[in-house]
């Protein structure tokens, strides 16, 4: 199964561990992620705060480039997923916007007919590759590993293309397919603070504290996520949460692709696990093994 791949700026930089784990697991899962040539930044939430039509145009260029391959565009980053998908939906729903984007694209020698879908990598792995196939590839026993499925916001809202906005189950099913124990986690779609960690640190840290506290009091070994910003906030800023709130959280926050890689028995270095700020804990290593 071949897909047009839109990595996004983060997985090339601060979230490079995400990309590494994806590179490691993709061939085993039988999916080929063909990186879209010369893609540009989606603009995330920042660009839309300054310019609307330009923000849509950034996505439109990517969609136009991708459409030429007649395949769905797949991205691992929740923010990119939201922005590209929203642009795609609005393109179909609002003729006035569609017209303007058409004119803009034409200035760059491009055009878009709205014929491709935007999909998140989680959706592709769980729904296209399938739970059964994933289960077959598991070689490490992850029984008793308690994993929190943390979705965050932008993959399940506002478009409900593949899961429920309040109580999604795609990652839950993945965790179970990998043989681990999915923790019942009511805060699975609560905001981590996102980009406000940069501008309103204390507020964002308090949101992260709630997320970590609830993972801890449910005896979770780790949290899995599918958004570079969520991973950054919960992993890199975990020590700041501890400092500000006098807590002692020590919960690794890894990408779902890294968990898949662990279950498949792949070497940890190939999965970028050494790049985590909060390292794999001893109890966790007791179950998943070393290396």
Partner 1 sequence: MLAKQVVTESSLNLDFLDEIYSLPGGNEIKKCIQCGTCSGSCPFGQVMDHAPRKIFSLIRAGFRDEVLSSNTIWLCSSCYTCAVRCPKEIKITDVMYALKRLAVKEGITRGKKAVVLSKNFVNLVNKYGRNHETELMTRYILQAEKLNAFSFVTQGWKLFSRGRLPFMPHKIKNIDQLRKILKKVDELGDI
Partner 2 sequence: MSVRVGVYVCHCGTNIAGKIDIDEVVRFSEGLENVALVREYKFMCSDPGQALIQKDIEEGKVDRVVVASCSPLMHESTFRSVCERSGINPYLLTMANIREQCSWVHVDAEDSTDKAKDLISAAVSRTSLLEPLEKRVVSINPRTLVIGGGIAGIQVALDLADAGKEVVLVEREPSIGGHMAKFDKTFPTLDCSACILTPRMVSVGQNPNIELLTYSELDEVNGYVGNFEVKIRKKARYVDPELCNGCGMCWEKCPGTRVPRKGNAHEKLSLGPTSSIYMPFMQAVPAVPVIDKDSCIYFQKDKCRICEKVCERNAIKYDMVDEIVEYEVGNIVIATGFKTFDPGIIKRYKYGVLPNVMTSLEFEVMNCAAGSTGGSIVMADGREPESIAIVHCVGSRDNNYHEYCSRVCCMYALKYAHLIKEKTKAEVYDFYIDMRCFGKGYEEFYDRLLGEDVRFVRGKVAEITNVPIHESEKDKLILTVEDTLLGAVRRIPTDMVVLCTALEAPDGLPDIAKMCNVSVGKDGFIIEKHPKLGPVATATDGVFVAGGSQSPKDIPDTVAQASAVSSAVLSMITREKIEIEAATAEIDEDRCCGCRICNTLCPYLAIKFDVEKNVSVVNEALCKGCGTCVAACPSNAITAKHFENRQILAEIEGILSAAK
Q: Which is nearer to partner 2, 34 or 210 (CB)?
A: 210
Using alpha carbons, select from 197, 179, 187 the residue that is nearest to residue 139: 179
Binding mask 132-171 for partner 1 (x = CB under 8 A): ---------------------xx--xx-x----xx-----
* Min separation Cβ 155 and partner 2, Å: 16
**Contacting range for partner 1; rule: CB under 8 A; set: 58-66, 113-121, 143-151, 250-258:** 58-66
Contact between 242 and partner 1 per CB under 8 A: no
- How close are the terminal C-alpha atoms of the chain, in Å? 30
| x/- letters, 101..130, toward partner 1 (CB under 8 A) | --xxxxxxxx--------------------
d(CA 1, CA 52): 35
Q: Is 92 in the site for partner 1 (CB under 8 A)?
A: no
Out of 2, 30, 51, 186, the only residue in the binding site for partner 1 (CB under 8 A) is: 51
Which of 36-44, 116-124, 171-179, 281-289 is the region at the interface with partner 1 (rule: CB under 8 A)?
36-44
24 or 125: CB nearest partner 1 = 24
Residue in 70, 188, 176 with CA at minimum distance from that of residue 126: 176
By C-beta, is 98 or 119 nearer to partner 1?
98
Taking the least distance from each CB to partner 2, the nearer of 30 and 186 is 186
Shortest distance, CB of residue 166 to partner 2, whole angstroms? Answer: 4
Residue with tokens 């179950």: 287
Chain contacts with partner 1 (rule: CB under 8 A):
9-10, 12-17, 38-41, 43-54, 57-58, 60-61, 82, 90, 93-94, 96-97, 100, 103-110, 153-154, 157-158, 160, 165-166, 189-191, 193-196, 198-201, 203, 207, 236-237, 240, 274-277
């Amino acid at each position: 199964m071949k897909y047009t791949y839109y990595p996004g700026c983060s997985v090339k930089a601060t979230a490079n561990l995400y990309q590494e784990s994806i590179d490691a697991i993709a061939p085993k899962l039988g999916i080929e992620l063909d990186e879209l040539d010369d893609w540009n930044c989606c603009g995330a939430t920042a660009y839309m705060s300054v310019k609307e039509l330009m923000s849509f145009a950034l996505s439109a260029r990517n969609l136009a480039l991708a459409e030429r391959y007649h395949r769905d565009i797949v991205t691992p980053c929740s923010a990119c997923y939201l922005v590209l998908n929203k642009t795609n939906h609005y393109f179909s729903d609002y003729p006035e916007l569609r017209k303007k984007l058409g004119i803009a694209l034409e200035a760059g020698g491009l055009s878009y007919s709205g014929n491709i879908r935007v999909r998140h990598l989680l959706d592709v792995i769980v729904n296209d590759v399938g739970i059964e196939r994933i289960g077959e590839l598991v070689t490490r026993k992850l029984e008793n590993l308690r994993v929190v499925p943390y979705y965050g916001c932008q993959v399940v809202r506002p478009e409900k293309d593949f899961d429920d906005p309040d109580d999604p189950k795609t990652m839950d099913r993945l965790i179970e397919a990998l043989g681990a124990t999915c923790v019942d986690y009511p805060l699975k779609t609560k905001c981590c603070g996102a980009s406000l960690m940069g501008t309103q640190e204390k507020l964002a840290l308090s949101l992260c504290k709630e997320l970590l506290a609830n993972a801890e009091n449910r005896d979770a070994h780790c949290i899995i996520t599918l958004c570079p910003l969520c991973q950054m906030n919960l992993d890199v800023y975990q020590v700041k949460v501890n400092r500000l709130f006098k807590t002692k959280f020590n919960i690794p926050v890894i990408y779902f692709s890294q968990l898949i890689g662990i279950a498949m028995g792949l070497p940890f270095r190939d999965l970028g696990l050494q790049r985590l700020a909060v390292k794999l804990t001893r109890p966790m290593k007791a179950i998943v093994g070393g290396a």
